[in-house]
Amino acid sequence: MTQSSQRFLPLDVFRGMTVCFMIIVNTGGTGGTYWPLDHASWHGWTPTDLVFPSFLFAVGNAMSFSMRKYQQLGNAAVLGKIFKRTLIIFLLGYFMYWFPFVRHADGGYAFKPFSHTRILGVLQRIALCYGIASLLIHYCSKKVVWGASILLLLGYWAIMWYCGTPGDQYGINGNAGILLDKMVMGDNHMYHGEGIAFDPEGILSTLPAIVNVIAGYYTGLFVQQHGRTKPGIMRMVLGGIVLLALAYAWNTVFPINKKLWTSSYVLLTVGIDLLLLSLLIFVIDILGFTKGTGFFTVFGKNPLFLYLLSEVLAILFYFCMVNGTSLYRWINEQVFQPLSPGKFGSLLFSLAFMLTCWIVGLVLDRKKIYIRV
């Protein structure tokens, strides 16, 4: 963490909160899930649907600090840094889905082929959105970047409507995103968690997600310049309210949908992020209340590493077998479900899993180890 970002505690807390809740919602137990910790089935949203776009928003916040030094670098150096970071994060995501490189088969193990490995995903989307947003912000004026953002949102809406299956443009089977992903990547390289080959982090829906990063970047700049004052907070609150109103107006013709990452969903999530960040700034900077913030800043100081750690641990828990069942299920059923059957036991498991990652982060923080990509 840079000294600049250390001076803006609300941004660190916000970033840490996104990582913390990403881990919780991604590691549900076997006894069911409370509705706020589950995604909307299709159209609409739940608190869980706010977590990933908020992380992208936080990526943009961090860029508002890290990209300052790009002004003193040559063109080749800037491109090198952006492309290197984009590639590393993308490959980390790809290898995470391939890990542990073998699968259980006929009492032994078999190699997991490239031909059945998911190409896109959470880290891959972070990488692509970071890379494209960085190029736009560094090489274009603010006016051009905002114009490009509007074009991305409107253009995505037009593509979804005109290129999807007539009558099912916003359905899981007929949307333009799934058609493009199947044509470019093929079913075997896509996510199958919905019961069919459909990738919520697909190629086409990456376009509007770039706007979440761009909005986070300019919000970070605004906070540095004006946001730690009451007038600055009021401007952010007003901006959030306006975006929420626009989101629900757009929702009437282009439904709010996380899995399609619709343009109305982008406005909704950015609006809520502005309101949440305004609240954090008011409580922490204006009221001076910082008690408990250290818990979240542990996540905020090593965000990508701790998220990756949580995913790798979960994969290993599913891969390791105990008495014919996965370690993940065994821990749930032998420890947490007997402790509290049903959804609360599942929540306890999620919290315990998150706290395990937090302890690793705390050790790293105490040793002043901050892993950057």
262 and 327 part of one domain: no
277 and 326 part of one domain: no
23 and 72 part of one domain: no
333 and 346 part of one domain: yes
Q: How confident is residue 228, by pLDDT bands cut at 50, 70 and 90? A: confident
In a domain, 314, yes or no: no
Per-residue model confidence as pLDDT tens digits over 114-162: 888 999 999 999 999 999 999 999 999 999 999 999 999 999 999 999 9
| Domain count for the chain | 2
Q: How confident is residue 108, by pLDDT bands cut at 50, 70 and 90? A: confident
296 and 161 part of one domain: no
Contact assessment for residue 4 and residue 67, using Cβ atoms and an 8 Å cutoff: no
Residue type for 2, please?
A: T
At residue 1, does pLDDT exceed 60? no
Contact assessment for residue 220 and residue 63, using Cβ atoms and an 8 Å cutoff: yes
196 and 280 part of one domain: yes
Per-residue model confidence as pLDDT tens digits over 166-218: 999 999 999 999 999 999 999 999 999 888 999 999 999 999 999 999 999 99
In a domain, 43, yes or no: no
For residue 361, what are the domain limits?
A: 1-33+292-304+320-373
Could you tell me the two tokens for 214? 């761009």
Give the DSSP letter of residue 287. Answer: S
User: Which residues are 326's β-sheet partners?
Assistant: 321
133 and 28 part of one domain: no
114 and 233 part of one domain: yes
